[in-house]
Every structure is written in C-alpha cells, then in structure tokens.
Amino acid sequence: MSRKERGGTLRVALAQVSTWIGDVESNKAKHIRYIEMAERDGADLVVFPELSLTGYLLRDVAYEVSGACREALEEIKEACRNIYAVVGVVYEVRRGIVCNAAAVLGDGEVKCVVPKFYLPTYGLFEEARYFMPGNPHTDLRVVNSRFGPFGTLICEDLWHPEPAEALVRLGAEFVVCIASSPLRGLNAPVEGRPWIDHAWSSLINATALTNSVHVIFVNRAGPEDEEFFWGGSRVVGPSGVELARCRSMEEDFKVCDIDLSENARARRFSSFRVHLREFHEILSKI
C-alpha cells in the first residue's frame, strides 16, 4: 500500500536486531535483508539500533572498522533507492578520529551522518575514550525527506532535553533515537518490567509530550560479550501514548503507521510554542 493509499501517513519499520561485534560484512548483509523486508511491507523508513553495523562493545576495534563501515554504506545506499534507513556506524571524521554516528540513507545516497553528542563514560560505558562527540553548532541536522523532516539522536542524547528540543524547533516532525541500551534493573522491576525499560519509557514519553512530536526509539536486542541488550523498541505519539512496541530480550521487527498531522493537534494544547532562552543563558554561565 502506498503513502497516498494510506492517507499520507508515515510507515516506519523498527529493525530491532542483534549484530556481530566487529563483523561489518555479516552485519551489512543483515541490514540489506531487513531493508528489503521493510520495503516489501510498504515502509517509508526503517530504523536500526546504535552501532548496528559494528556492535557496541568495540573498545580499540573502533579504530579499525570505520573504513569497512564507509564501504558498507556505499552498498547499503543502493538498497535504499525507494526507502530511507537510519543505520548505526563508526564514522571517521579525520584520520584516526572516529565518532559513534547515525547514517541516514535514502534516494540511493547517504543523506547525512550525525555523530552522538553526549558520550556516556560511567559504569560500563567508556565511549569518550574512543569517540569524539558531535558539535551541536555544526552536526545537528534535520533531514528533509519526501515524507517529512526528521532528526536523529543516539541513546544518551535523549537523556538530555536540549538535543530533541533543538531538532523539533529546527522543524523536525519526528525524532529518531537509536540505542544500544544494556539490560539493567532486572532484580528491581517497575510494574513487572526491568527498571531500564521504565527509565526509557519516562524519557521517551516526556520527549514526545514536551515537544509535541513523534519519537521513534530502536534499541539493540540480544547478547554481546558480557552484556545483554533488552530491546523494547517503540513508537510514541505526541500525546505521550505508545503506538507500537517490539518484544523485549529478543530480535524483533515491527511496522507502524504514523499520522504526523497529530503533531499540530497536540500543539494546540501545549506550551510548545513558548521557549524562554533566558534559562539557557543562565545554564551556560553556571
């Protein structure tokens, strides 16, 4: 069914996959299979998790896979002539300087590569040891696709309110967040789900509500080294209501139709149009 036949709604495919660490070739083949599956289901956009081409716990391997990622994107973009995709990659911005990034592909080309802004370096996370953070002045991007403008963030970026708000105020009608969130709080569940699911639900719902925007969250699922990624990918509408959700703890693939006109309706009953820059001036001096 075409977008015209669906009344102009956006159809998004959530590709909640598990990938092999450092094996870009195998991961690339899996991406192409899922892109083809999403296209058969009539999707306009398919979204993969953070670092989906490489695996997450790379450590020093991060410096060795950027070339393979660039070559893989050249092949993947050929599968994206009639569909858009968001893919997690390691991207070399200068010789020996790499970013944890999201590549946006569509119309048979790489539209942009957006680096992660906030690099978690606490607990098991050590991203700042290997990656360079994005610069909001130069790297914040809104992609003007044929189905509407959107922006992409990566995992920790959504734990801070400014990146999503900036994207929406720049014109994004929906925000894509790709993640590799490991399982946490299994022994301290909230309403029958691990604490980390509760935490992400709070963040995603608040982002959607405060910005009157759709949020597409795609998280990794499955094991890697000593960690396990819990999945739970979902779509949340501008009223904070969950529209679709993938299974937890395993790979999954789900298609969801999104009516972007709901954003305008939600903004009639919110303070989205009000932005007091003075708070940011104060914060910048603290």
Q: Which two tokens stand for residue 194?
A: 């691990």
Q: Could you confirm whether 50 is annotated as catalytic?
A: yes
Q: Could you confirm whether 155 is annotated as catalytic?
A: yes
| Catalytic-role residue among 30, 39, 50, 111 | 50
Dihedral sign of CA atoms 218, 195, 252, 17 in order: positive
Q: What is the CA radius of gyration of the chain?
A: 18
Angle, in degrees to the nearest 10, between helices 161-169 and 195-211:
30
Q: Could you confirm whether 112 is annotated as catalytic?
A: no
For β-strands 109-115 and 142-145, DSSP reports them as: unpaired
Question: Which contiguous run of DSSP H or E holds residue 210?
Answer: helix 195-211
| Catalytic-role residue among 69, 80, 99, 155 | 155
| Catalytic-role residue among 30, 77, 111, 116 | 116
Dihedral sign of CA atoms 58, 61, 63, 69 in order: negative
Q: What is the C-alpha to C-alpha distance for residues 199 and 196, in angstroms, rounded to an integer?
A: 5
CB atoms within 10 A of CB 132: 18
Instruction: Give the residue numbers annotated as catalytic, written as ranges.
Output: 50, 116, 155
